Chain A
Amino acid sequence: MIKRVWLLPWIGLFLSLPAKAAWEVNITPGATAISREVYDLHMIIFWICVAIGVVVFGVMFWSIFHHRKSRGAEARNFHENTAVEILWTLIPFVILIAMAIPATATLIKMYDNTDSDIDIQVTGYQWKWRYQYLGQDIDFFSSLSTPREQINNEAAKGENYLLEVDNPLVLPVGQKVRFLFTAADVIHSWWVPDLAVKKDAIPGFINESWAIPEEPGIYRGQCTELCGRDHGFMPIVVEVKSQADFDLWLADTRNAAQAQAAAASEEWTLEQLMERGEQVYNTSCAACHQATGQGIPGAFPALVGSPMVTTDIDAHINIVLHGKAGTAMQAFGAQLNAVDLAAVITYERNAWGNDTGDSVSPQRITELQQ
């Protein structure tokens, strides 16, 4: 018993740890009927395990305490008992059947993807999500918005550190939303605990799942399938709005898309393109090619001094628009609008001492894309 004293300094250490955040220990009951069912299943199976544990460990510690040689215990001589052995095979079996019934019922409900009110295709990319509202003419990318300085400990971390995005997925409350998951490169997995939806996004496959969010609010999740370098940096934010707010959002988003298209026919100076290009580069390209343009040797090529970036402008535009099959270099033609594409290419050709003086106009991109 004296050995327990060893524990004291450690207990002290843990008590003194800063109590800055909640010591959250359990899954969330969530925001849908299904997520609450899942939570209940989780709690039932948890308590079953606790009960079995109490009995088994109880007997074990009771024996350890009473049947020890130092207390003069003599070993008895039994070493089998068919009745007991059959019994303790059957009892767990019965418990498991009792557990399997509600689990099956919930699973069947989760697999009922019919009668949806709204369908959204979710595509995983290295390392962002694309949301396409089918038949609604809405299509956008959603990527991490936490600034690099916070990640590199050069700035204080915000409240939603690593769980914030530029464009959240917006859903109407009380509607059955069907998600269609796929991926453009490697396997990702889309998980929002409050919706109890976790489904792999697999290239070449379409997976389905659904949710009916019951309360307006903001729900956060993350990619849960290792998908390369920035796997830890592709969060999901779902904003559930009332129907009226949702309709407003739909209209706003469509208008913004039109304004973007109009911007493509304006004249852009080199400075304007550079300024915009730096932003685009940092959100869309820096994860691989690095903010310095130096890349990561053996994985992602340096753009500084690259022959393609400093001379062959057509090849440069081509690889950014169409990517390179069989490598991590994605086709950005469908991901970015013409202005962003022109800006980022211009930026790459002039940043980090590349200084080619070339400027690519949005019109040139639009023409190429027709």
Chain B
Amino acid sequence: MDTTLSVDSTEHGHGPAKGLGRWFFTTNHKDIGTLYLWFSLLMFLTGGCMALMIRAELFQPGLQLVQPEFFNQMTTMHGLIMVFGAVMPAFVGLANWMIPIMVGAPDMALPRMNNWSFWILPFAFSLMLSTLFMEGGGPNFGWTFYAPLSTTYAPPSVTFFIFAVHMMGFSSIMGAINIIATILNMRAPGMTMMKLPLFVWTWLITAFLLIAVMPVLAGVVTMMLMDIHFGTSFFNAAGGGDPVLFQHVFWFFGHPEVYIMILPAFGIVSEIIPTFARKKLFGYASMVYATSSIALLSFLVWAHHMFTVGLPLAGELFFMYATMLIAVPTGVKVFNWVATMFHGSMTFETPMLFALAFVVLFTIGGFSGLMLAIAPADFQYHDTYFVVAHFHYVLVPGAIFSIMAGAYYWLPKWTGHMLNERLGKAHFWLSFIGVNVTFFPMHFLGLAGMPRRIPDYALQFADFNAVASVGAFIFGLSQLLFVYNIISCIRGGERATDQVWEGSHGLEWTLPSPAPYHTFTQPPVIK
């Protein structure tokens, strides 16, 4: 295999183009993957700075650093940037890099569209960030932008926000089409569906979710646009409209969206744990079924974000039961991971540490999710810091840890160098401590009665807020280690073998490290 590959790529002379043009015009899945990953890192640091601004203001009661209107812009932008700018592009970047070489394809199915789906993003986010400097400020209505706060009462820049969301939507939909086309059509002969690596499976399902719900998001922002500029009253009660309709449409997008941000994470962790446990993944088939059922159920639970809007009793009960049901397939996944570790032969390199932390901390986020599903109890949790704690547990040590785990896991394959384990472990432990010190106390704050999205709070919340702020700075600053680690791994380090990790299996590990610019131009043979 390896020899045919390298001969092939030199013969055609298809190396990367020279200069900056390489990055603007590239249609190579690895280049585009790299672009996505750098972009998402940049956005992660930008959104992170906003989070630190929020935590700095909340370090003590009283208004010290920012005024409420700016605080609201920070919470909104932090959320939007982390969701649409950091987590989603990171997963798409990993998909671009890994899916073709995991299924034995030479590239993505639609390479030119791939270039567009990436290059829309920098423009979308420049547009969105520029609103912060406009008169009246940027979006200040929360990342969930509930009408009419985001329509009748919004700052004028909301129109640019709507346009930016449309652009992100285009980008995601094109990316998703590309991923589906690649997985369904470009698998090497013999790579049957039930042989696909789980990362590929979870991404396939995620891509279908994206195609299903991004148009819904586009629809809801378009309705806002019409209300603001064209005299309609979709969400304006004074004109006969319905503000709650906004929430139904938003969460019909929004709930699948949270699975869009976690299913690929499940995939990554399901790759890493078997490698470092040196044992096959337990329950592969049930993993696939569990992922699919989570995806299906995700369309039936949106109103659990709306238990307090005054749904009828029957609606309330339906959404409570459906939400509780999601715990079943999610539990199956966690049990499978633990069973994979059970009687394995484990080692604890950096990717494994992040994956293990994922399993524990994501599960904690799952527990608080189960508590939130209990509608009568949710009345006490809803829109408090308990919810903030819950979704940060599933998104930070959940989605983000899985992305870091994936980055550390595949970096040697991308760069040809092993990473510095000592630094990697330092990054892990600092992040692990930082994350827990930041977000665990938020459970207590919420239960004790602190609402979310407030720039100032009553005195009884002071202590835990101070703790959380300290944790946030530990977590935030330790990400500089991550950046340093990546750069030094690109620049040098011990040479990586093809297999990289002792226990790794799969097509990507049959390629040389670093993976050549063109791979699998001839399909591999799969036993």
User: Which A residues form the contact surface with B (CB < 8 A)?
Assistant: 3, 6-7, 10, 13-14, 17-28, 37-38, 41-42, 45-46, 49, 52-53, 56-57, 59-60, 63-64, 67-70, 73-80, 84-85, 88-89, 92-93, 96, 99-100, 103-104, 106-108, 110-111, 126, 150-153, 157, 159-163, 181, 185-187, 189, 191, 193, 196-200, 202-205, 207-208, 221-233, 296-299, 325-328
Would you call B429 and A6 a contact (CB within 8 A)? yes
Distance in angstroms between the alpha carbons of A358 and B153 in the assembled complex: 32
B346 interfacial by beta-carbon distance below 8 Å: yes
- List A contacts of B375 (CB < 8 A): 103, 107
Would you call B308 and A199 a contact (CB within 8 A)? yes
Number of interface residues of B (CB under 8 A): 108
Interchain nearest-CB distance for B510 vs A (Å): 21
Would you call B61 and A161 a contact (CB within 8 A)? yes
Chain A minimum-CB-distance residue to B337: A60
> Contacts A153-B63, A226-B72, A299-B137: A96 and B327 contacting too (C-beta < 8 A)?
yes
Q: Which of A26, A74, A205 contacts B237 (CB 8 A)?
A: A205
Would you call B282 and A79 a contact (CB within 8 A)? yes
- List A contacts of B320 (CB < 8 A): 100, 103-104, 107
Q: Which of B315-354 contact A (CB under 8 A)?
A: 316-317, 320-321, 324-325, 327-328, 331-332, 334-335, 338-348
Interchain nearest-CB distance for B316 vs A (Å): 6
Distance in angstroms between the alpha carbons of A161 and B61 in the assembled complex: 9
Interchain nearest-CB distance for B217 vs A (Å): 19
Would you call B149 and A226 a contact (CB within 8 A)? yes
> Contacts A73-B343, A157-B459: A80 and B283 contacting too (C-beta < 8 A)?
yes
User: Which B residues form the contact surface with A (CB < 8 A)?
Assistant: 61-64, 68-69, 72, 134-137, 140-142, 146, 148-149, 152-153, 155-156, 237-238, 241-244, 277-286, 308-310, 313, 316-317, 320-321, 324-325, 327-328, 331-332, 334-335, 338-348, 356, 359-360, 363-364, 367-368, 370-371, 374-377, 379-380, 382-384, 429, 433, 437, 443-444, 447-449, 451-464, 466-467, 470, 474
Chain B minimum-CB-distance residue to A227: B149
B interface SS class: helix
> Contacts A49-B370, A60-B360, A69-B346: A197 and B379 contacting too (C-beta < 8 A)?
yes
> Contacts A80-B285, A226-B142, A297-B135: A232 and B344 contacting too (C-beta < 8 A)?
no
- List B contacts of A18 (CB < 8 A): 463
Chain B minimum-CB-distance residue to A193: B449
Would you call A49 and B371 a contact (CB within 8 A)? yes
- List A contacts of B136 (CB < 8 A): 296-299
Would you call A104 and B317 a contact (CB within 8 A)? yes
- List B contacts of A52 (CB < 8 A): 367
**Top 3 closest A-B pairs, CB basis?**
A204-B237, A298-B136, A232-B454
Interchain nearest-CB distance for B279 vs A (Å): 4
Interchain nearest-CB distance for A317 vs B (Å): 23
Q: Which of A37, A88, A222, A299 contacts B376 (CB 8 A)?
A: A37
Q: Which of A7, A93, A230 contacts B328 (CB 8 A)?
A: A93
Q: Which of A45, A89, A231 contacts B377 (CB 8 A)?
A: A45
